[in-house]
Amino acid sequence: MPTNPTDPQSRILTEEYEVLHEVARVLHSSKGLKNMLEDVLEVLTGFNELKVEKKAGIFLADPEKKVLNLYCMLGKFTDEFLEKEKVVPYGDCLCGRVAESGQLLMSESCFTDARHERKYEGMQAHGHYIVPLKTGEKFLGVMFLYTNTHPAWYQHSQEVLLSIGGLVANAIENSLIEEELKNYRNHLEVLVAERTADLKQVSTTLEKEVAERTHAERELTIIREQLRNLGNHLQNIREEEKTRIAREVHDELGQSLTALKMDLVCLKEELPSNQPEPQERIQSMSGLIDSTITSVQRISTELRPQILDIFGLCEAIAWQAKEYEKRTNLQFDLNCAHVPLDNKELTTDLFRIFQETLTNVVRHAEADRVKVRFRQQDNKFILEIEDNGKGMPPGKIEDSQSLGLIGIRERVLFLGGEVEFLGEAGKGTKVVVKVPLES
Ligand SMILES: Nc1ncnc2c1ncn2[C@@H]1O[C@H](COP(=O)(O)OP(=O)(O)OP(=O)(O)O)[C@@H](O)[C@H]1O
Ligand SMILES: [Mg+2]
């Protein structure tokens, strides 16, 4: 419907529209809450139809303490007023009543309205509009506007004032939320900074620990390697010593005993046959020399079987197996391929591992069959020794007291190979040694 500017009704409508528009514009500026609210009060005091004086203010609600706190004002107020109105409890005077009821209030005169409980020195007669500031049901404060005495409602004044109250309340709520967000963000930033500092500290400590650990591990590896080298060196010395003693015992003692025996035979022939006593003594001496020669051969072979150096590992294993068969009730099942092994140290190591494993079988396994398999596969020698005894008790493999097993493992590791001790209670034990060809 077209409006006529001279018609009072349409003039009011235009003014309402302009005021609402101006309030909305002010509240969209980014001047900060207090400045925005002061500008809103300024706009409202220019609302002719409401006949507002240039005196107004806004309280913000503190719902926990149930009080209104004076937030901003427009116009001149006495010091007494400012001091007394700083904090107004809910229910007190006009503004406190609006805080309780949440309803718009109009008061005709501060002197005649009994609800206007607070009086001030030099107070002039005036009326009030007290507008609740609410978003939905949430109460955020109160806006008071001074008027002439006996302000009269015009047709839509209540709706307009409540709408403006809603707009102001929205602005206050947004600002409070922003403030809360800002505080929260600041709090988070402090937390993140603290946490980062903590993590940095932990990370530095960890780095230090890792470095120390790495250093200790490196040292341990070096010491282990030195020990392994030393062990191997001692084994080699022992082996050389055994070989030397075996050779001396075999050659020198053996030759001397053989010469002694031959001398004895000559002596026997030179003695007259009618002297039985010396003849018998020579006979028994000859028997003693024979058994000493056998002992010398046994000792020399046990120290280091010559067969190992002359015929190689397979024959040495076969010979050793026969020796065990003679001395124990073990039956051997041998499957040894003729693998060309011209590395004397490797041959010795594998043979000693075989002997140590067999000693364990005889001492601990209570077995009657042993399977031995020696072969070459790809670029590895594989020696497998399996008994049908009671099986290795759990924990023995890792036991630091198992010096025999440790010795085997160390020999194999020195050769760059690997060893496995497999077995279950009642199902025998299998030792698998794998060493690389190039070792
Ligand atoms: N073939 C096997 N069957 C059953 N148990 C075994 C076998 N081999 C080893 N064991 C168990 O493992 C343990 C450790 O063996 P290891 O050779 O290290 O030590 P040991 O034979 O007891 O003493 P030594 O130092 O004289 O060799 C043995 O005491 C035994 O209990
Ligand atoms: Mg042993």
Q: Which two tokens stand for residue 432?
A: 């698998």
Q: Count the neighbouring beta carbons within 10 Å of the beta carbon of residue 36.
A: 20
Per-residue HEC secondary structure of 119-188 comes to: CCCCCCCCEEEEEEEEECCEEEEEEEEEECCCCCCCCCHHHHHHHHHHHHHHHHHHHHHHHHHHHHHHHH
Residue 403 near ligand 1, beta carbon < 6 Å: yes
CA 65 to chain centre: 49
> pTM score > 0.85 for this model?
no
Quick check: helix, strand or coil at residue 117? coil
What does the pLDDT read at residue 5? 59
Residue 210, pLDDT score = 97
Quick one: tokens of 338? 């003729």
Q: What pLDDT is stored for residue 150 in this prediction?
A: 78
Reduced to 3 states (helix: H, G, I; strand: E, B; else coil), residue 105 is strand
Ligand 1 site, residue 428, Cβ cutoff 6 A: no
* CATH 3.30.565.10, the chain: domain bounds: 308-436
In three-state secondary structure terms, 70 is: strand
Total count of residues recorded for the chain: 439
All residues at 6 or more sequence positions from 112 whose CB lies less than 8 Å from its CB, including other chains:
none
CA 320 to ligand 1 centroid distance, Å: 19
**Quick one: which ligand is closest to 355's CA?**
2
Q: State the Cα–Cα distance between residues 35 and 278, nearest whole angstrom.
A: 144
Ligand nearest to the CA of 401: 1
- What is 308-436's CATH number? 3.30.565.10
How much distance in Å is there from the Cα of 32 to the middle of ligand 2? 90
**What is the three-class DSSP state of 416?**
coil
pLDDT at 217: 97
Q: Which of 53, 56, 60, 142 is nearest to 103 (CA)?
A: 142
Closest atom of ligand 1 to 359 CA is 21
The H or E element containing residue 108 is none
Minimum CA distance residue for ligand 1 atom 11: 392
Q: How many CB atoms lie within 10 A of CB 43?
A: 18
- What are the tokens at 54? 């240039």
Q: Which residues pair with 89 in a beta bridge?
A: 67
Q: What is the identity of the amino acid at 126?
A: H
In 3D space, the residue among 121, 97, 94 whose CA is nearest the CA of residue 110 turns out to be 94
According to CATH, where is 3.30.450.40 located in the chain?
Answer: 8-183
Q: Report CA(397)–ligand 1 centroid distance (Å).
A: 9
Sign of CA dihedral 231, 237, 240, 246: negative
Straight-line distance from the first to the last Cα atom of the chain, in angstroms, rounded to the nearest whole number: 109
Q: 8-183 has which CATH code?
A: 3.30.450.40
User: Could you list the pLDDT tens digit for every one of the 439 residues in the chain?
Assistant: 455 656 777 888 888 889 999 999 999 888 899 999 999 999 998 888 888 889 999 999 999 999 999 999 999 999 999 999 999 999 999 999 999 999 999 998 888 998 998 888 888 889 999 999 999 889 999 999 999 887 767 778 889 999 999 999 999 999 999 999 999 999 999 999 999 999 999 999 999 999 999 999 999 999 999 998 999 899 889 989 998 999 898 889 999 999 999 999 999 888 887 888 888 899 999 999 999 999 999 999 889 888 888 888 999 999 999 999 999 999 999 998 877 777 888 999 999 999 999 999 999 999 999 999 999 988 899 999 999 999 998 888 888 888 899 999 999 999 999 999 998 888 999 999 999 987 5
pLDDT at 1: 45
Torsions phi, psi for 252 (to 5 deg): -70, -55
Please identify, by atom number, the ligand 1 atom nearest to the C-alpha of residue 361: 1
Closest C-alpha residue for ligand 1 atom 15 = 402
